[in-house]
Structures are given as structure tokens and as C-alpha cells.
């Protein structure tokens, strides 16, 4: 397992939210490109970019920033937030990302989900964002009645090649990931799972690795210094 540093974009700046709440925002940097270069220089093998404005608006809002980040680094970049249509996915791929993370659009119907996976293959990752085991959509501001594990299983049958699982209640808390829920989801599917939310110590990383995650997205902890960026060069 390896670490993927996160860059969350809102109003052109690098921010972190607490439990996905837009009202609880901390700004960490004004220049996302500089941050991307810093994480790559520290050893990052991949970057995780989230267009928070896009997640709310339902369309990519930071394509120029994504393009600038991708042009500034040599490591692959995955992008989520506002990926509601195949056209939106194509836009971020054309901007230089190697992977788009799709969430809300996959809950519409099975045919729509299948189209994403058929058209984009490995370049399309499925977001499973959950609070108390239930899937949240539209920038985490709307709850569904879909169980996260059931959703993950369904996405795999529809052609998903990879899942990015975020436990919303832990996201931004620095209190550790919901490892039990992660392990359950990993065991339910046969495709790689990337874990995000609350990871702030080596012990947290070890627990996520033990649960079977392919990688761990780390955000707030590397901005605050709880985890050194150089951890992105290590394996767990």
C-alpha cells in the first residue's frame, strides 16, 4: 500500500473540509501547482485532486487548475468532483489526468454507470462516499438509501475497475479511518480499493494496509505536519 497526497480545490485554493462540511473549511495554500510540485518532490507516486466547487455544481469548475497541476508534475493525477457526464470525464482526462473519480452519476441508473466503465475503463474509478455505511452524493450534501457495500458490489458487476472509498464522518478529523467498514468493503469486492478519510498517523496507515486497501489518500495530516510528505515515497 502507498500514500496518495490530496489537493482539494475551492475558489482556486488548496483547502480541507471537516467531515465534508463546506462551512468548516481551512485554507492551506493559495497556489495548487506549488503544492503539487512539493508533494511530488517529497516522493508522491500519484496525486488526488478534488474539485470541491465541481462537486457542488455538478460540473468541473477547476479545469485550468487541473491542467496546470498535471503539466507541473510527472506523476499520475486522479481527479474527482463534478464528474456527472462522460463529457466531464473526458474534459479532465484531456486536461492531463490519468483517472477520473465518478460518484453521483453512478447512482442514477445501471446503464449510465455501465457506460462510464465501458467507455473509460481503467481511467474511470468509482467513488463510494459513505456516512454510517450509507452512500452520500452531490458533494456529500445529499444522503441516499444505498448501502455502501451493496453499492460497491453493484459497481463491480457493472464494470468498475477500482473504488475510492471515503468515510465521511472520519474525513478531515485526523482520528483514523473507519477500518472495520473499509475491511468489509474490501472483502465484498475483487477490485482494488483506495481508502480516504481521517488518516493521520503511521498506525492509521498500517491499519488501512492491514484492511486490504491498495492506497491511502492523505490530506489534512500532511498539511498540518502530523504526517511528513516523505511518507508518500514509502510502502506500507
Domains of the chain by range and CATH?
A: 2-233 (3.20.20.70)
The tens digit of pLDDT for each residue in 131-182 reads: 999 999 987 888 999 999 999 999 999 999 999 999 988 877 888 899 999 9
> Residue 121, class by beta-carbon neighbours within 10 Å (0-12 exposed, 13-18 middle, 19+ buried)?
exposed
Which one from 53, 94, 111, 129 is the annotated catalytic residue?
129
The tens digit of pLDDT for each residue in 70-81 reads: 999 999 999 999
- The confidence score (pLDDT) of residue 26 equals 74
- The confidence score (pLDDT) of residue 28 equals 81
Q: Is the pLDDT of residue 90 over 60?
A: yes
SS3 label, residue 120: helix
Phi, psi of 87 (to 5 degrees): -65, -40
Please report the DSSP string for 164-224 in residue order: EEEETTTTTSSS---HHHHHHHHHH-SS-EEEESS--SHHHHHHHHHTT-SEEEE-HHHHH
Which one from 8, 51, 167, 171 is the annotated catalytic residue?
8
The arithmetic mean of pLDDT across residues 201-229, rounded, is 95
The tens digit of pLDDT for each residue in 3-33 reads: 999 999 999 898 867 655 665 567 788 999 9
Catalytic residue check, 8: yes
SS3 label, residue 156: helix
How many angstroms separate the CA atoms of 180 and 182, rounded?
5
- The confidence score (pLDDT) of residue 161 equals 98
Catalytic residue check, 132: no
Q: Is the pLDDT of residue 55 over 60?
A: yes
What is the average pLDDT value for the chain, to the nearest integer? 93
The tens digit of pLDDT for each residue in 169-190 reads: 887 788 889 999 999 999 999 9
- The confidence score (pLDDT) of residue 234 equals 93
Amino acid at each position: 500500500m502507498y500514500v496518495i497526497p490530496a489537493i482539494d480545490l475551492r475558489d482556486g485554493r488548496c483547502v480541507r473540509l471537516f467531515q465534508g462540511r463546506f462551512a468548516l473549511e481551512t485554507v492551506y495554500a493559495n497556489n495548487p501547482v506549488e503544492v503539487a510540485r512539493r508533494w511530488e518532490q517529497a516522493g508522491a507516486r500519484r496525486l488526488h485532486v478534488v474539485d470541491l466547487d465541481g462537486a457542488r455544481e455538478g460540473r468541473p469548475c477547476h479545469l485550468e487548475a487541473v491542467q496546470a497541476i498535471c503539466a507541473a508534475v510527472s506523476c499520475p493525477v486522479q481527479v474527482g468532483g463534478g464528474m456527472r457526464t462522460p463529457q466531464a470525464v473526458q474534459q479532465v482526462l484531456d486536461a492531463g489526468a490519468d483517472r477520473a473519480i465518478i460518484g453521483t452519476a453512478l447512482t442514477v441508473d445501471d446503464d449510465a454507470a455501465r457506460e462510464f466503465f465501458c467507455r473509460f475503463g481503467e481511467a474511470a474509478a468509482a467513488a463510494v462516499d459513505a456516512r454510517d455505511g450509507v452512500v452520500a452524493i452531490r458533494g456529500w450534501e445529499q444522503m441516499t438509501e444505498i448501502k455502501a457495500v451493496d453499492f460497491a458490489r453493484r459497481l463491480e458487476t457493472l464494470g468498475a475497475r477500482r473504488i475510492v472509498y471515503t468515510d465521511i464522518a472520519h474525513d478531515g478529523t485526523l482520528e483514523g479511518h473507519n477500518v472495520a467498514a473499509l475491511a468489509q468493503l474490501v472483502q465484498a469486492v475483487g477490485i482494488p480499493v483506495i481508502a480516504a478519510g481521517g488518516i493521520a498517523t503511521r498506525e492509521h496507515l498500517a491499519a488501512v494496509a492491514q484492511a486490504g486497501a491498495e492506497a491511502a489518500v492523505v490530506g489534512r495530516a500532511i498539511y498540518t505536519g502530523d504526517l511528513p510528505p516523505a511518507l508518500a515515497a514509502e510502502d506500507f
